[in-house]
Structure formats: C-alpha cells, structure tokens
Structure 1
Amino acid sequence: MLADISSPADVRALSSSELSSLAAEIRSFLISKVHRTGGHLGPNLGAVELTIAVHRVFTSPVDVVLFDTGHQSYVHKMLTGRCAEFDSLRQAGGLSGYPSAAESAHDVIENSHASTALSYADGLAKAFELASAERRVVAIVGDGALTGGMCWEALNNIGGSSRPVVVLLNDNGRSYDPTAGGLAASLLAGSARALFESLGLAYIGEVDGHDVHAVENALWEAKTLGRPVVVHCRTVKGKGYPAAESDEADRMHAVGASGAASSRTWTDAFADEIVAIGSDRPDVVCVTAAMLEPVGLRPFSEAFPSRIFDVGIAEQHAVTSAAGMAMGGLHPVVAIYATFLSRAFDQLLMDVALHRLPVTFVLDRAGVTGADGASHHGMWDASILPVVPGLRLAAPRDPSSLATLLREAVEVSDGPTVVRYPKAALGPDVPAMRHVGHFDVLREVPDAEVLLISVGPLAGPCLAAAEELASHDVRVDVVDPRWIAPLDPHLVKFSGRHRLVLAVEDTTSTGALGARLGQALAGTSTCVATFALPPRFLPHDSRARILRAHGLDSAGITTSVLKRLGVK
C-alpha cells in the first residue's frame, strides 16, 4: 500500500478494512529502513495508528499537524509522500530525522527540543483566528513532553480560550526512560480527565492508541466539539517489534545503522569516572532531565540509587533544583546534552552563578553531533557560557584528561563548572610535554612562530597539522588550554611569544576562546585568529564530514596556517 500513498488524501481514500494492513506494512518498513540508516525506532513504532488516524480526520497541510517531540514523525513523513527518501534518512542531503519545513509543506516546525509544540499550537491558533481562517491545529504530544514546564504554560492559555486546538496525548509512560514525577502517577491512576478539565480543556479518553478506528472516532468527536480538547491515547513504545517492546532500557528509542562499529565513547568514559567520584565523594549527586541512559548515568544510578534524580524533560527545573541541592551542602552533577543546556541559561546564570554555587554541568554531545542536525549540534555553549561570572569551562582532549578535569570540576566550591565533550568514539590519550598554568604543552619546538591552540578532542588534528607544517619549514607549537574559560593569563603570556596564534575549536567563532584571546593580545605584534564553525545552523551529516567541510581536520588546519603566513 505504501507505494500508492503520495499524500494524506490517499490515506483518507483507504477503506476501514485496509487500515490494519497499512499499519503492519508501515511497521515492517520502519524496522527495515531505520535499522539500515540509524534513527529513532521505538517512538515511531508506537505512533503508527494514531498518525494514520490524524491524517484521516484532518486535512494537512491546511490543518497543521505538530509533533512533540519530532522524533515520532517518521510515520507522518511516510504518509505525506516521503517513503522513497527513507534510504537517505539522517544522511547528508537526505531526509531529516525530525520534521523539516524544507522537506514538505506538511511540516511546520523542526521540533526536536521537547515541550514546545503546544506553545506553537497556541500561537498558530491565535493567528488563524485573527485571519478568520478555517484551519485546525493538532499537536501530538508525548506524556514525557508534559513533564516540561512549557507544556503547562501553553495549556494554561489554550484551556482559557475557545480556540479549537486538539491535543493528542500519546501516553506510553516513557520518554527515553519511564516518565518521572507526579504527572505520570496521575495519568496512570486515571486522573487525567479531572486534570485537563480543570484547565478548561475537554477530555476524550482513554483510547487504545493502537486501534486506528477508535482513535479516528475520538478525533472526529474532538473536531466537532470546536473547542480546546485533549484526546488521551494509551500506546506502547516499540509496538509490534518484540526486540523493542522487551528492551527495558528505552524500548529501542534510537538505533545505530546496521554494521556500524561499536566503540567506546566519551559518554562511556564519563560513566566510569562519575561512579568512581561517587565512591570517593558521598556529597556528589547526579541530575538528569529524562536521559539517564543517553548521558551515561545508568551505572551511577545502579551504584547509588538514592543519589540520582530524574526530573523529567525539565532542564530549567533541573538546574535550579541542583542549585537548591548545592545550597543544602551537596555537589550536584547535572549531565545534559550541550544543546539542551541553552534552555536553562537563565537558571545557570541567576540561580547558580549569582549565588556562586558549586554545581558541575557535564555537557554530552558538545560541538558537532552529526546525524541529528541543526537543533542537536552543541555548537553554542562554548561561545555563550564564558559570559557567566565565575564559571569555569573545561574541554578534555582524551580519556585521561576527561577523568582529571571532571575531578577538578567537582573540587571547585565557589561557583559553577562545566565539562564538555563530543558525541564520538574515544581516541588514544595524547600525552603532554609539560604543564604551564592551567594548560598543557603538547608540542614545543625552538623559535616556533606559530601556536596552535587545540580545544578538546581537536588536539589530534592539530598535532598532525603541526607535523605537516614542519615539512614546509613552519615551526609550530601546540597547546591544550584544558580550561577554556576564564582565559588563563599564562596562556596569554605564552601566546604572545608567537607570530601567529590559531585557536582551533569545535564551536561557533563568535565569543570563542580565540576571540577572547585576540582581545587580550590586541595591540601586540601577535596575530590571533579563530578557526571554528560558522555562526549559522548546520545541516545533518556525519561529525567527521562536517568538521572536514569547515577545515577542522589536519589538512584544513595546515592549509589555513600556510595561507595566513603567505606560504605557497
């Protein structure tokens, strides 16, 4: 059937008796394609029937369909004419793993940060009302997303209006992990009707989310009400695929491409070290925003079950709650994706730093992340965080320095510390020749005219570039700053001994280490340049190819130095 579906109109044209066969074909397609390319499997297997029902009741793109989060939108992509593109899922130039307006008129938001769809829905409904447009808004929201505060801010506004927003609650009891907190208990106890009706929304449910006819009937009822309404569907994450349904960790939330090598990662190294630190420091506790497994806190939770706190998809609360723990004498470690920390910048600034509280932030997926694309690249933290007074920001270059810097971070008692590292396989340790101030000298030659400052895991490419430059009679030193904020005065002094200083960074150029070092050396004979990522949203591709495309590999660094020196 999928071969004959090029738009939602084709879905609406199917007979009721054909829908179960379509659902089975969709699941078979998903299992085959996603295992081949890698991507989000479990969430989409659980959203098959409700997505079919949405496209039979509502007329996309006239009616707007939103997903929170967007990783459950693969079935939507299939039913809106993109089946033929699934071999390119999450590949360079191919299909995005999230909704993408550049791909289709049926996509409106690129929604990979959770708990936002209801606010978009509220705004769209207001716009349609003012334009007297007969258009509906349907937001498919997971119960995990409802643990985020923005959902309730939006529901407060939606329920207080008469605008016909339909909230389809995809309740599977999980995000990555089982849904945390009192909301999950309330939904499980059957209190959803009272909860949503108290906010002014009509309530329809509970509905078997894997019975396409039941969901379709519930959505028709919601549509005819002509007011804000919640349709509560119970679903099973990973439905129809025994390997996913039996996966206790996350129901095969995301799978890698088949045949991809499984290597030890930076996350694995953090997981080991934080357990060791926890053994030495009973005051160390860990906080996660619904991502216990992805950020490497599972071993800590097993070793110290009373010292791990999953707050749900609530990054702002995670940070201020950690501030409260620090006020109470603990040292919290907040493990979070770099891209998601931006959601809680105000809390870090005003609730942690203003009070000079000892909270350590561990930023997984910092820098270029690859296939998840623009919303997941952790490109911004190293440019934004240095403005926070008293904050110390570290970028380890290898497994040993990750362990050392993490321990140094939790020893700080007078302000926030941050340790950032990429989504990547670990390389070998890169030894230092000597230690100066807070930085490591990795390569030093007499009368060096060029200094490469390698930030984090870019030490390897910088050392390789230095060797290549030596063949062009260019003398190069290489240092690792270790702590990239605040600026180390010893690094400023060392840099001033060189003709050209190039800071090589897996972050945006604006506000990066090189920019701050350039300000410190302004008016001297030393030329400082920043070699980093451009300040724009980068599309999905592999980490290696993105770095290479922007010259952040050994060949690109070599070429840049030679060009700046005028060497041909």
Structure 2
Amino acid sequence: MKSNLLSNIFNPADLRLLQEAQLPQIAQELRQFIIDVVSVKEGHLGASLGVIELTIALHYVFNTPEDLLVWDVGHQAYGHKILTERRENFHTNRQIGGISGFPKRGESVYDTFGVGHSSTSISAALGMAIASQLKGDFNKQHIAVIGDASIASGMAFEGLNHAGVTDANILVILNDNAIGIDPSVGALKKYLTAVKNGKNPKQNNMIKSLNFDYSGPIDGHDLPTLIKELNRLKKTKGPKFLHIVTTKGKGLQQAEENQVKYHAPGKFDALTGEIHLKSEENLPPKYQDVFGLTLLDLAKKNEKIIGITPAMPSGSSLKFMMDEIPERAFDVGIAEQHAVTLAAGMATQGMIVYCNIYSTFLQRAYDQVIHDVALQDLPVIFCLDRAGLVGEDGATHHGVFDIAYLRSIPNMIIYAPINEIALQNILYTAQFGLEHPIAIRYPRGRGIISNWEVENFGQYENIKIGDGNCLKSGTETAVLSTGTIGNNVIAALNECGNPKTIAHYDFPFIKPLDHNILHYTFENFKTLITIEDGVISGGFGSAILEFAAANNYTNKIQILGVPDVFIEHGTVLQLQQLCKIDVKSLANLFSNRSK
C-alpha cells in the first residue's frame, strides 16, 4: 500500500524534494483531497481539478515564491493553495474567518497577486517582470496562467500586445479547456480549436506574430512532458507562450461530463460525484430565473427585444432566451466593455436591449456606461444580477458599489425591486421607452414568493418612474429602504411587534427619488433611518442626506449599509450581521427606538 505523500508536503520546497516519478501519486492525492473537502464544504471544483498536473509542475520546476506565479481569476487555484502551506486549513475555504476562495496577497507570499475577476494575469505578471528588470534581477521568472475564456478579453490582449515588444522575462501559459463557467465563445475559441486539431499551420500562429516564443499545444495532464517543457522555457529569455490542453473537472467523471454544473456544484458525494439535490418544492424562485423567464416572455411578444450577457448565460438565466430565440440573445464572452457598447449600438437603431451583467463586473465597463450610453442618453436596460452581498465569493464579487458608482451619472435611472413581482414589472415597463438608460439591481439567490410562477407570471403592471411606497405607517421614526433588504425591515418590524412609532417606506427608485415621500417624512418624523445592501459612502443614504441638505431639513438621519471597508467572505446572513442589516440587528434597533 502506498504511503500518503501529500500529508508530508507543506510547501513547494517539500514538493521539490520528491522524485519526478512520485509526482503522479501527488496528483492523484491532491485531486482526491480537493474532492473530499469541496464535496462537504462546497466551492469551485472543476477548474481546480483541471490544472492539478500543471500546478504541481509549476511549483516543482520554478522556485516559488521567489519566482512569481500569477493565476487568472483564481477559480483554479485550490491545488496551489493546498501545496503552499494551506493544506491544514483548506477546510475553512470560503467560510467566514477562513481562507479566501481566490488567491489573495495578504493570505500568503505564494499569492503574488489578488484576483477574482478575469484577464488580469498577463498585465500583472508583465508589470512584475519589468520591475524585476529595472531592479537588475534578470533571473527571476514571472508566470501568468490564463484560461481560453479569459484570454479572449480585451485586457488580456492589451497585455500580450505590450509584452510582445519587451524583452521581459514572462511566461504566459494558456490553459485551454474550451470553457470558462459556460462554454467559451467567439472567433478566438474557433482559432484555438483549429490549433488543437492541427488545422492551423505554425507559420500562421497569431501568438508568434505578437513576438512570443510559442510552444504547444501539449497535453496539460502529462506531467513528464509538462516538466520537460517548463524546464526548457525557464532557460529561454524574453516573452514566452505555452499552450496546454486540459479537461475541466479531470479525475471526476461527472465533472468531466457536465462541466457547467460541476464548476461549483454545491455539496456532492465524494465517491460517486452525485450532487446532493436540495428540494425546490414550494421554494421562491431565484431572481436570475425571474429575469430570464420574464425576458423570454417579453421577447416572444416584442421582436425588438435583445438580450446580452458577457459569459454568464447560465448564471444570469439568459440561457432561457438563448435556447428559444438565439438570434436575439448574445453571449459575447468575458467582454463587459464590448457588451455595454454593443448594447449602445443596438439602442441607436431602435432595439430594446437588456444587458445583463453581474454588479461586480459592470465595474469593468464604467467608462462605456458613461461615455457610450449615458452621455448619449441611450435607453439601454442594465440588469445587474448579484447586487448586494453575494456571500462566499467574497470581496472580489460583492455587488455593493453599483448604487454609488451609478448614482453620480447623469440620465441614469436606478431601480431596486423589493421582490420578484416588482422585478417583473420593471422589466415589463422598461421596454416602453424610458428615454433614459436604467440599471435594475437585484440580488443573488431566491425571492420571497413561493407561488410566483403559478399565480403571478405574466401579470405585468406598468410602473410610474420615481414612485416609492408606504409599507407601514408610523409616528416618530421613518425607515427608508431600497431593494430586497426591505424584506429584512419587514421581518424585523414583525419580530418586534410592529411598533406604531415606526413607519416603513420602500424606495425602489434610488434615482430619481420620490420627493413627495421625502418631504412628507422629513416634515412628519423626528428621525429617519436609511437601509441599503450597498456601500454607505455615496449610496442611497447619501442621496437622502443630499436631499435633506438641499431642502434645509435638520432631522436626525441614521444610515445603515455596508461600511467603508472591503467585506470578506462568509454566508450572506453572516455578512449582513457584520454590517448590522440582518433581521435580528434591525429588530433590536427598532425595539430600542420604540421604547
């Protein structure tokens, strides 16, 4: 019986003491270790399983952490974390107080660059390589590992374009598995497929034309070949590019066969791979499905409606429309800037464009939102999924900045529905020409109405722009909430007996605000409390403060939301508790107010 080798590997220095012939056993044990932990604790599975051999080879050949290794996005870095002094606490991955699900500089010297969003690795590694040259260190290695979906992004091409005219000591490794979270799309994907199939002659190699020393494609699961090629490249100066072919989910049959589902499968059986399905009977719908099914219904009735997503057809549920009306639903790949300006171009021609981008990823297209959409006052409909605190993905993925970064843009309408019906109704209303761009923000996860699709689907109502709602009357304190966090307010008021002193107003429109309700609340309540699941700095509460200052109101105003720090990973409930916007914290606040 073979001894367990992985248990004796605490860092890459230990790994480099092994014979090369022992590395396949390490690969097998590392795969099983990840499967065993993720099956119970959840997390990103398929991407890490696909780069086990590459991870081992990189740390075996290169002198990490002195040689600098940069992972793109970081979904695939679990093996890296386990081999770099975090095996014993890997079970805390993505849990509050535990290690991050992504490489993070503050966590380990082996994490040379913090990641979470795509296509940053080449630019970061190039920056490191140029800095090494300037410091006179010409032997240090700088390696960027990037997937075929991420390399299609504009920023990755910008990095390649610059690297090719330098003599920087940088190695770009393309981990080509033909999939990101969803299958890769676009002309570059077709080109890479042709290269893998031997249909593109070497002299027509686009990477070589950018002045890189190109090698590959090679089997990314063949450890001896990987190690041999990495040793060769280590001695080669200047910009280098290694094309490897891998299988996402390698080593777990179900993960190989269903790569989309096993990207982050939740809890599953470590032996069989079978996902532990949660009963969805009588559960409210996911907000993403409310969007996807409603858009499909609207698009069937209105031939001008277009759907766009940058590489998230499953996550956004635009896939419903892509399956039934593919000619009007577009996955443009990891290209948020392109998605926004593409939508703007379509809007100039009278199309009704629903551009669905996760809140955290719209940050990547801020200039396009301002310059290409808002400045021209084009009525693009931005559907911002995963707005607010998203949970275990942590600081890189929380959608807590969108209110603040969009509120300052002229012509922009911002809407945050309190529930599924409000989301449906604003999606319906937006198609009738709002004359301005609108951002509709809604959270990750489920709504609150379990019978939504049976009783409410398709029963649309037109929404009057700028209107708020009184949800509960009161006498002394007015609580002003926006979006689904308002349901925490409702639950908290119920928990403390619905005190008569406290009123509750829902502001679905963050911009424009309902001035009639605001004047009423400032004139009739001593204290106002604002609540949002976004950053306090520049957010909804700030808008209320601005209104008060402009109208010379001096009422006491308390602002609740996400404080001026980056919020780390944990469950949504734990993070709401941290921000004091969970039901219990609000109930305690309201109880003290009503005494």
Q: TM-score range by the shorter chain?
A: over 0.9
Once the two structures are TM-superposed, the CA of residue 287 in structure 1 deviates from its matched residue by: 0.9
- Contact 2:169/2:237 (CA < 8 Å) preserved in 1? yes
SS at 1:362's partner residue?
Answer: strand
- Contact 1:499/1:525 (CA < 8 Å) preserved in 2? no
Question: Which among 265, 273, 279 is matched to residue 300 of structure 2?
Answer: 279
Residue 321 of structure 1 aligns with an amino acid whose one-letter code is L
Once the two structures are TM-superposed, the CA of residue 408 in structure 1 deviates from its matched residue by: 2.0
Corresponding residue number in structure 1 for 2:176 = 171
Residue 184 of structure 1 aligns with an amino acid whose one-letter code is K
Counterpart-to-counterpart distance in 2, 1:39 and 1:467: 35
Corresponding residue number in structure 1 for 2:212 = 201
Question: Which among 319, 325, 343 is matched to residue 298 of structure 1?
Answer: 319
Corresponding residue number in structure 1 for 2:460 = none
- Contact 1:512/1:530 (CA < 8 Å) preserved in 2? no
Cα deviation digits, residues 310-342 of structure 1 (max 9, x gap): 111111111001111111221111111110001
Which range moves more in the overlay, 402-411 or 153-162?
A: 402-411
Cα deviation digits, residues 33-68 of structure 1 (max 9, x gap): 112111111111111111111111111110011101
Once the two structures are TM-superposed, the CA of residue 493 in structure 1 deviates from its matched residue by: 2.1
TM-score, normalised to structure 1's length?
Answer: 0.94
2:126 aligned with 1:138, yes or no?
no
2:486 aligned with 1:459, yes or no?
yes
Which range moves more in the overlay, 281-290 or 514-523?
A: 514-523
Corresponding residue number in structure 1 for 2:273 = none
Corresponding residue number in structure 2 for 1:491 = 517
2:554 aligned with 1:549, yes or no?
no
Counterpart-to-counterpart distance in 2, 1:494 and 1:207: 69
Question: Which among 511, 516, 522 is matched to residue 538 of structure 2?
Answer: 511
Question: Which among 15, 18, 25 is matched to residue 22 of structure 2?
Answer: 18
- Contact 1:238/1:251 (CA < 8 Å) preserved in 2? no
SS at 2:65's partner residue?
Answer: coil
- Contact 1:23/1:49 (CA < 8 Å) preserved in 2? yes
- Contact 2:466/2:509 (CA < 8 Å) preserved in 1? no
- Kindly report which structure 2 residues correspond to 1:223-302, keeping only aligned pairs within 5 A, or say none: 223-247=234-258, 250=260, 252-258=262-268, 261=278, 263=280, 264-302=285-323
SS at 1:506's partner residue?
Answer: strand
Question: Which among 532, 537, 542 is matched to residue 561 of structure 2?
Answer: 532
- Kindly report which structure 2 residues correspond to 1:147-186, keeping only aligned pairs within 5 A, or say none: 147-186=152-191
Corresponding residue number in structure 1 for 2:272 = none
Question: Which among 404, 421, 437 is matched to residue 425 of structure 2?
Answer: 404
Residue 521 of structure 2 aligns with an amino acid whose one-letter code is S
Counterpart-to-counterpart distance in 2, 1:280 and 1:305: 15
Count of aligned positions:
561
SS at 1:39's partner residue?
Answer: coil
CA gap of 1:436–1:408, structure 2 versus 1, over 3 A, is closer
Once the two structures are TM-superposed, the CA of residue 195 in structure 1 deviates from its matched residue by: 0.6
Corresponding residue number in structure 2 for 1:368 = 389
SS at 1:252's partner residue?
Answer: helix
- Contact 1:392/1:486 (CA < 8 Å) preserved in 2? yes
- Contact 1:202/1:229 (CA < 8 Å) preserved in 2? yes
SS at 2:357's partner residue?
Answer: strand
Question: Which among 467, 472, 489 is matched to residue 438 of structure 1?
Answer: 467
Unaligned runs of 5+ in 2: 269-275, 457-462
SS at 1:140's partner residue?
Answer: strand
Counterpart-to-counterpart distance in 2, 1:115 and 1:436: 38
- Contact 1:466/1:478 (CA < 8 Å) preserved in 2? no
Counterpart-to-counterpart distance in 2, 1:244 and 1:494: 57
Question: Which among 490, 501, 513 is matched to residue 475 of structure 1?
Answer: 501
Once the two structures are TM-superposed, the CA of residue 499 in structure 1 deviates from its matched residue by: 1.5
2:344 aligned with 1:332, yes or no?
no
Residue 366 of structure 2 aligns with an amino acid whose one-letter code is F
Cα deviation digits, residues 222-249 of structure 1 (max 9, x gap): 111111100110111111211011116x
Counterpart-to-counterpart distance in 2, 1:261 and 1:513: 35
Question: Which among 73, 79, 87 is matched to residue 75 of structure 1?
Answer: 79
2:356 aligned with 1:352, yes or no?
no
Once the two structures are TM-superposed, the CA of residue 477 in structure 1 deviates from its matched residue by: 1.3
Once the two structures are TM-superposed, the CA of residue 286 in structure 1 deviates from its matched residue by: 0.9
Unaligned runs of 5+ in 1: none
2:55 aligned with 1:51, yes or no?
yes
Counterpart-to-counterpart distance in 2, 1:244 and 1:469: 47
Residue 41 of structure 1 aligns with an amino acid whose one-letter code is L
- Contact 1:68/1:140 (CA < 8 Å) preserved in 2? yes
CA gap of 1:202–1:436, structure 2 versus 1, over 3 A, is closer
Residue 262 of structure 2 aligns with an amino acid whose one-letter code is M
Counterpart-to-counterpart distance in 1, 2:407 and 2:527: 23
Counterpart-to-counterpart distance in 2, 1:477 and 1:532: 19
Once the two structures are TM-superposed, the CA of residue 425 in structure 1 deviates from its matched residue by: 2.2
2:98 aligned with 1:94, yes or no?
yes
SS at 1:71's partner residue?
Answer: coil
Once the two structures are TM-superposed, the CA of residue 251 in structure 1 deviates from its matched residue by: 5.6
Counterpart-to-counterpart distance in 2, 1:26 and 1:146: 27
Cα deviation digits, residues 447-488 of structure 1 (max 9, x gap): x211111211122221233345667x6511111111111222
Corresponding residue number in structure 2 for 1:5 = 9
CA gap of 1:122–1:531, structure 2 versus 1, over 3 A, is same
SS at 1:255's partner residue?
Answer: coil
Counting aligned pairs with the same residue, the percent is 34
CA gap of 1:528–1:409, structure 2 versus 1, over 3 A, is farther
Residue 254 of structure 1 aligns with an amino acid whose one-letter code is A
Once the two structures are TM-superposed, the CA of residue 71 in structure 1 deviates from its matched residue by: 0.9
- Contact 1:117/1:141 (CA < 8 Å) preserved in 2? yes
Counterpart-to-counterpart distance in 2, 1:437 and 1:184: 44
Counterpart-to-counterpart distance in 2, 1:436 and 1:79: 54
Corresponding residue number in structure 2 for 1:320 = 341
Residue 514 of structure 2 aligns with an amino acid whose one-letter code is D
- Contact 2:466/2:511 (CA < 8 Å) preserved in 1? no
Residue 49 of structure 2 aligns with an amino acid whose one-letter code is L
Which range moves more in the overlay, 421-430 or 449-458?
A: 421-430
Residue 476 of structure 1 aligns with an amino acid whose one-letter code is I
Once the two structures are TM-superposed, the CA of residue 303 in structure 1 deviates from its matched residue by: 1.5
Counterpart-to-counterpart distance in 2, 1:435 and 1:165: 56
- Contact 1:145/1:151 (CA < 8 Å) preserved in 2? yes
- Kindly report which structure 2 residues correspond to 1:415-426, keeping only aligned pairs within 5 A, or say none: 415-426=436-447
- Contact 1:356/1:414 (CA < 8 Å) preserved in 2? yes
Counterpart-to-counterpart distance in 2, 1:145 and 1:15: 34
Which range moves more in the overlay, 461-470 or 207-216?
A: 461-470
Counterpart-to-counterpart distance in 2, 1:310 and 1:371: 26
- Contact 2:416/2:483 (CA < 8 Å) preserved in 1? yes
Residue 163 of structure 1 aligns with an amino acid whose one-letter code is A
